[in-house]
Amino acid sequence: MPIYSAKNIPEKVTSSTKDPEIAAWLPNAPVLGAHLPVHVQRREHDAFIDEQKPPIGKIEHLGLRGPHGTIPVRVYHPSKRGPAEGGALIYLHGGGFIVGSLDQFETAMRLFAEHSGAQVYCVDYKLAPEYNWPVQIEEGEFVVRWLVEHAAERGLDPSRIALGGDSAGGNMTCVITLKLRDERGPKLALQLPLYPETQMPFFTAAGVENRSGGYVDTAGVLLFVWCLLKQGEDYSQPYVTPMNASSHADLPQAILVTCGFDMLRDVGHEYARKLAAAGNDLTYVHYSDLPHGFIQMTAHSKRCLEATLEIARLLGEGLKSQEAAEAARPAA
């Protein structure tokens, strides 16, 4: 799979042939944005809790006193040293803002930590509709500021802290990164949006192509937005729709991932192009054969596992210490 930089990002990305293992599994998988009550969708998503989990050094459970009550955070400590040792990834899970749990994302978090060397902080932010925007943004931002402040006591370099997330969590990653820039807050080392919801996808080719039959339905975005925003809230503002920011300049380096069988493919790709055009350091990866949500499907597809491990490797490279980077350079 080609990995692009800001200089050679393609003008368009498409789907190819869906990975056959995941194509066989998807018909029995949960559907995000289905015509089911939210509590039923939440329960059905426990199908993403894998019985066999990859190894990890240590798991730590934190409860941070945030702006809207306690924020549970599950911390994954790798068992071995890696290039991102001394760095950390704060992770905001996907689920359309309405579903998703730490348990449902545990496999991917273990893989990210173990294969990058970074500590991974997965945030159990409060879900909609019980909690409306901007509660989720404020909780994610709180964890970023908390970890930067407490980095030294946690064995971390405060200049090597990344923020990432998938789908709705990718939206939050983009939004919080913009907000920290606008407010001159802590400087993130890296942002890692995976198939992010940077804009509503209804009028894109990807939105129409993937309107149903995959993991997530395009029409489900209507449910997500209805649950997330209070009545009358402006959904076009950049802290809801990051594509609409007046500027995308002066942001941290990004590793942005899209996939072929995804309603968000085109809006994620367009956001990558905006980041590149604004002069940011960008690594862009497009998995044309994989669906939205693939990091949760590693138990069902070797291809999903390979892609998730590749993201972990890119994370390790992106958070590599200066000493590790110098040691990796070939001798003159």
- Summarised one tens digit per residue, pLDDT across range 13-49 is 999 999 999 999 999 999 999 999 999 999 999 999 9
DSSP labels, 177-244: HHHHHHTT----SEEEEES---S--TTSHHHHHTSSSSSB-TTHHHHHHHHHSPTT--TTSTTT-GGG
Domain boundary assignment for the chain: 3-320
The residue among 227, 209, 225, 226 whose CA lies nearest residue 217 is 209
Residue pair 265/13 in contact by the 8 Å Cβ criterion? yes
Residue type at 247 in one-letter notation: S
Tokens 């509503």 correspond to what residue? 200
- Which pLDDT value is given to residue 214? 84
Expressed in angstroms, the distance from the first to the final Cα of the chain is 30
- What's the CATH number for 3-320? 3.40.50.1820
Active-site pick, 124, 166, 217, 262: 262
Active-site pick, 115, 286, 292, 300: 292
Q: Over range 86-115, report the average pLDDT.
A: 98
Burial, 111: exposed, middle or buried (Cβ in 10 Å; 0-12, 13-18, 19+)?
Answer: buried
Report the SS3 class of residue 276.
Answer: helix
- Which pLDDT value is given to residue 15? 96
Tokens of 230: 């209070």
pLDDT tens string 251-310: 999 999 999 999 999 999 999 999 999 999 999 999 999 999 999 999 999 999 999 999
Is pLDDT at 322 greater than 80 in this prediction?
no
Tokens of 300: 């069902």
Active site residue 262: yes
**Taking all residues of the chain, what is their mean pLDDT, rounded to a whole number?**
95
- Residue 13 neighbours by CB under 8 Å, 6+ apart: 258, 260, 265, 266, 269, 286, 288
pLDDT tens string 170-228: 999 999 999 999 999 999 999 999 999 999 999 999 999 999 878 999 999 999 999 99
Task: Report how far residue 26's alpha carbon sits from residue 5's, in angstroms, rounded to the nearest whole number.
Answer: 31
- Which pLDDT value is given to residue 93? 98
Peptide bond into 129 cis (omega under 30): yes
Question: pTM above the 0.85 mark?
Answer: yes
The residue among 160, 187, 146 whose CA lies nearest residue 86 is 160
pLDDT tens string 308-320: 999 999 999 999 9
- Which pLDDT value is given to residue 331? 57
Active site residue 289: no
CB neighbours of residue 80 within 10 Å: 10
Task: Report how far residue 1's alpha carbon sits from residue 115's, in angstroms, rounded to the nearest whole number.
Answer: 19
Active site residue 292: yes
Q: What percent of the chain shows pLDDT beyond 90?
A: 94
Residue type at 9 in one-letter notation: I
Between CA 206 and CA 277, with CA 216 as vertex, the angle to 5 degrees is 40
Active-site pick, 15, 101, 116, 167: 167
